[in-house]
Amino acid sequence: MRTLSAFILFILILFQSCQSQEKMITTSIHYSAQTRGYIYSIQLEKNILEINNNNTIKKIELSKIPLLEINQALDEIDFNEIKNNISIDDLAVDKAIKGVLKVHFKEKNFENEFNHNSLPNDIKELFKLLEAYLN
Amino acid sequence: MKKLIFSLAILALTVVACQPNSDEVVPNQEVATIDMSDFYVYTDSDVEKPSSNAKKDKCQTMKVLNRQLKENPGLEKRMFDIEKHTRTYIYFKGKPKNPGGGNGGGNTPPPAPDPYIGIITIPVVVNILEDPAHPVTQAHIDSQIAILNADFNNNNPNTAGVPKEFADLVADTEITFTLAAINRKASSKSEWGTRDAMKLESEGGIDATDPTNNLNLWVCEIGGGILGYAQFPGGTLATDGVVIGSDYFGENAAGGVYGHGRTATHEVGHWLNLRHIWGDGRCRQDDFVADTPSSDGANYGCPSYPTVNCKSNDMTMNYMDYVDDNCMYMFSNGQNDRIRAIFASEGPRESFVN
């Protein structure tokens, strides 16, 4: 009986672990900001993180811990409160660079457009975290 | 019977009275043809609401707070008036000024602006905030003036490669730039940003020199990945002009593929009231120029021809696209019309020709 209970517990833990791993894998982050003479992009798909900083491209395969950290960071961001802050009038005279952020997290899609040089603090912190894995 | 005849007479009189006066028909039609329905300036009420709904966000995306409009509430009306003046100028181009021949009655259309014919000379004041790591030499300055003159007078040698489709659209704007003055000030600032600090003595920059009669160019380290930026006609006079990053001013090896002076050509295009060729939006958002194809975004690098977007070939070689310096080499005739409009009577840069 004890063996059976331990076996069931093991199966349950395994199932939970697989589920959370599945959730982590389905998290994706895509950000791209471009203007004449400048490009910056972040791509996190499954466990591959790639950052293009003005054509200096760095790529890494992330282990479980960084993926958990990224998910935790995303969890702390209230995407419903994040405001788009790009002005078409600034874009029209090249005063600003438009950055488009697309996040898939906890089975929800979020999309925002920012002034790349004036990112909301939460997003700036998220990018710092991602950049740190490549330094 | 008398009552019936009287009623019919009243009815007939009413119908006749309601008929438009034939003398007024033409001018009223002229007014109606200046369509401003697609003109946009974003105001505070357009500030978008945050949302996790990506589709909804997409529609709201471009409607955002405009700092300049907030600080300068008259700007919206001025920009509308300039656009209406430009469209009136273009509408009347090559047409008789009073096609109806009448006096216009009480509801006269806006007067057709008098065009300025011939060469327009624009004195240029170069304001340099000197960073020793990014020197701006006399050779850079001279080459920049020469490049502006080549580009605005259809003398860019690369124009020889224009695709046949666009060959008849290449414009000679007949604008000559002359070097009026050079102001230099030492600066160790590595990022001046895009909030116009370099244009104000009070913020460490250099004040504009008589902007109603000079094109002011500021050369400094802008930072943040910005090569240069401009201000449309109608904005604050004290900040009127164009800003160029030090490495991208004139023929400058430090600028790489952007080191051939075309950042200034592009930004001066904005200063002359030209928009980006893709209209800063999707296919339906226009640059207000009839002979440039619609597009849904900027082109980069050196695109091959044809580059198809929005079911037509992009005019990637236009100075108002985002391609490399050596791959942009034309303004279109429609863009030239917009440029000439601002120098016409009542135009926002009329002072340069009077």
- Domain extent for B152: 120-353
Sheet containing strand B215-220, edge to edge, reads B175-186, B120-130, B215-220, B242-245, B228-230
Ranges of residues in chain B whose predicted pLDDT is under 50? 13-32, 42-65, 100-106
Does residue B260 lie within any of the structural domains? yes
Instruction: Give the pLDDT confidence score for residue A113 in this predicted structure.
Output: 96
Q: How is residue A35 annotated by DSSP?
A: E
Does the beta-carbon distance from B270 to A109 stay under 8 Å?
no
Residue B170: both structure tokens together: 């290449």
DSSP string, B191-233: --TTSSGGG-GGGTS---S-TTT-EEEEEE---TT--EEE--T
Complex-level ipTM beyond the 0.90 threshold: no
Tell whether B27 is covered by a domain: no
Residue B97: per-residue pLDDT: 65
Range of the domain at A40: 26-132
Q: Contact A84/B48, CB-based, under 8 Å?
A: yes
Query: Which pair of tokens denotes residue B152?
Result: 């605005």
* Long-range contacts of the stretch A124-130 (C-beta < 8 A, 24+): A125/A73, A126/A29, A126/A73, A126/A74, A126/A77, A127/A31, A127/A42, A129/A69, A129/A70, A129/A73, A130/A29, A130/A42, A130/A44, A130/A49, A130/A51, A130/A70
Q: Please give the single-letter amino acid code of residue A27.
A: T
Q: Is the pLDDT of residue A3 over 50?
A: yes
CB half-sphere exposure, A69, CA atoms < 13 A: 13
- Determine the distance in angstroms separating the CA of B192 from the nearest CA of chain A, rounded to an integer: 12
Which residues of A are less than 8 Å from B266 in CB distance?
36, 94
Average pLDDT in the A79-84 region?
Answer: 94
**A21 assigned to some structural domain:** no
Q: Which of A37, A88, A102 sits opposite B280 (nearest CB)?
A: A88
> What whole-number distance in Å separates Cα of residue B321 and Cα of residue B265?
11
Give the closest residue to A119 by CA, choosing from A93, A95, A100: A100
Q: Please, which pLDDT band fits residue A135 given cuts at 50, 70 and 90?
A: confident
Decide if B58 is inside a domain: no
| Chain B closest-CA separation from residue A14 CA (Å) | 32
- For residue A82, list chain B residues with Cβ-Cβ distance below 8 A: 50
Q: Is A47 contained in some domain?
A: yes
Query: A111 in a domain, yes or no?
Result: yes
Other C-beta atoms closer than 10 Å to the C-beta of B283 total 16
- Residue of A84, A123, A124 best to disrupt the B interface, most CBs of B under 10 A: A84
Specify the CATH number for the domain of residue A115.
3.30.1560.10
- Check B30, B83, B221, B267 and give the catalytic one: B267
CATH code at position B308: 3.40.390.10
State the pLDDT confidence band at A8, using cuts at 50, 70 and 90. low
Q: How many domains does chain B have?
A: 1
Closest to A47 (Cα-Cα) out of A32, A31, A72, A26: A26
Residue A60 lies in a domain: yes
* pLDDT score of A124 more than 70: yes
Nearest alpha-carbon partner for A97 in B228, B282, B138: B228
Structural domain total, chain A? 1
Average pLDDT value for residue range A61-73 = 96
Residue percentage of chain A with pLDDT more than 70:
81
Q: Which of B64, B270, B285 best tests the A interface by mutation, with the highest count of A CBs <10 A?
A: B64
Quickly count: other Cβ atoms within 10 Å of residue B182's Cβ: 15
The verdict on residue B323 lying in a domain is: yes
Nearest alpha carbon to residue A47 among A30, A74, A17, A67: A67
Reported as a single tens digit per residue, the pLDDT across B312-337 is: 999 999 999 999 999 999 999 999 99
Neighbour count for residue B269 (Cβ, 10 Å): 25
Q: Known catalytic residue: B267? A: yes
